[in-house]
Amino acid sequence: MPGPRFEGKDTPKICLAIGDGGGPPDAQGGRSANQEVSAKRLKQLGVDYALSGGPPIPWEEARLQSMMDRLKTNGVTLGNLMIAGFNNAIYNRPGKDEEIEKVIQSIRVAGKVGLPVVEYNWYAHRAMEGYFEEPGRAGVGLTGFDYELLQTAAQQYQTRPEEKGMKFKDLPALPNEGAHTLDEMWTNITYFLKAVVPEAEKAGVRLALHPNDPPAPVSRKSQQIMGTVEGWKKLIEIVKSPSNGITFDCGVTKEMGQDPVEVCHYFASRDRINHVHFRNVKVTKPYERYTEVFIDEGENNMFAVMRELVKSKYTRLVYPEHPRAIDYDRDRGRIGGYPGGGAYAAFAFNVGYTRAMMQAALTA
């Protein structure tokens, strides 16, 4: 087989989150040893790149540099940090300018330490109350989403006792979030982007806004600006810059009834894909009822998606996320962050499949 067989300067780069490797805590119950063990386990899968949630804002140069250096010592390059902690900016509340300044300070620090991508969310409300576990092949755990899902007493996400028996689509707004229109949310993010993107450009950092996941039409009475492909397209026009990009998620794209290859081409040809989530799904009704499945069994043509990334000369990170809940992980107490979600062994399956798709695309 001709090269390249593994990631290089001009190829996409498979990554995992630092915590995806797992590992025991250190002797004091902290996470310092965790990072080393996890990095080793990532390397055993042939994964040389990692992402992570970031620390509280504003980020400090010494802390970020230490984080990157420790991973580098273990052969792993940190390529993406998620930034959060600016809800006042999202909801246009007092204190938003102070939060935006902290985001700007954090982006400047990212540039100084050589972190190329900062990812973020802009949810009015994330529709996680619509998730549930459903069985897949041989009893594996899959993640379903249903806009009509009835809430139960054991509901996992932010459901209050008085909401038992309500459908997800009918849930009221949460007091700490409120209900918001598209116009409100577009006004708020426009203000944010016009302040932040020029500073990201100066720092040499790319921003990646993750789409609404799940892409529910309305979530606790709020409309969602990143819940349609048209919304994604509108976003990148607000401030025209490679630093104002998206996380392209081919799973979410299919959940909205769109063609991931066409959508990938649109954004990649404009150099606006700054991060990729690589996963598969089966859709019963776009936006409202779907199931996240194994990467090899869904409706997405994963090879065609990877081939489009390669053709478009995309060279940043590809995260084969949302592993399925298999017995091997469950028997060891490893569970994922979603109903029906899995852990390290299931990630190994995702990584192997993704690398096969990439190798095939690079030689096609």
As a whole number of angstroms, the distance between CA 229 and CA 72 comes to 36
Residues whose CB is less than 8 angstroms from the CB of residue 3 and which lie 6 or more positions away in sequence, other chains included = none
Residue 249: beta bridge partners? Answer: 277
Which pLDDT value is given to residue 36? Answer: 84
Residues whose CB is less than 8 angstroms from the CB of residue 175 and which lie 6 or more positions away in sequence, other chains included = none
As a whole number of angstroms, the distance between CA 260 and CA 240 comes to 23
As a whole number of angstroms, the distance between CA 279 and CA 32 comes to 30
Q: Do 106 and 203 touch, CB atoms closer than 8 A?
A: no
pLDDT > 90? residue 5: no
pLDDT > 90? residue 14: yes
Residues whose CB is less than 8 angstroms from the CB of residue 12 and which lie 6 or more positions away in sequence, other chains included = 276, 306, 309, 310, 314, 315, 316, 317, 318, 358
The larger pLDDT score, comparing residue 215 to residue 21, is at: 215
Distance of alpha carbon 320 from the chain centroid: 10
Provide φ and ψ at 281, rounded to 5°.
Answer: -160, 155
Angle at 228 between CA 224 and CA 234, to 5 degrees: 90
pLDDT digits (tens, 9 = 90+) for 81-90: 999 999 999 9
Place of tokens 């619509």: 130
pLDDT digits (tens, 9 = 90+) for 264-323: 999 999 999 999 999 999 999 999 999 999 999 999 999 999 999 999 999 999 999 999
Percentage of the chain with pLDDT > 90? 86
In this structure, which amino acid lies at residue 254? Answer: K
Integer-rounded Cα Rg, in Å, for the chain is: 20
Tokens of 137: 């092949």
Q: Do 181 and 221 touch, CB atoms closer than 8 A?
A: no
Tokens of 309: 């990334």
Which pLDDT value is given to residue 158? Answer: 65
Percentage of the chain with pLDDT > 70? 95
Q: Give the DSSP H or E segment for 207.
A: strand 206-209
Q: What is the mean pLDDT of residues 200-221?
A: 96
Cis status, amide bond into 24, omega within 30 of 0: no
Per-chain mean pLDDT for the chain: 94
Which pLDDT value is given to residue 319? Answer: 98
Q: Do 263 and 247 touch, CB atoms closer than 8 A?
A: no
As a whole number of angstroms, the distance between CA 199 and CA 193 comes to 10
pLDDT digits (tens, 9 = 90+) for 23-58: 655 444 444 457 888 899 999 999 999 999 999 999
Place of tokens 């509340």: 93
As a whole number of angstroms, the distance between CA 203 and CA 197 comes to 10
Which pLDDT value is given to residue 235? Answer: 98
Which pLDDT value is given to residue 21? Answer: 84
- Give whole-number Cα distances, 42 to 17, 137, 206, 303, 348, in Å: 9, 26, 24, 23, 9
Looking at the whole model, is its pTM more than 0.85? yes
The larger pLDDT score, comparing residue 332 to residue 275, is at: 275
Picking from 335, 337, 355, the residue whose alpha carbon sits closest to that of residue 345 is: 335
Provide φ and ψ at 277, rounded to 5°.
Answer: -105, 125
pLDDT > 90? residue 22: no
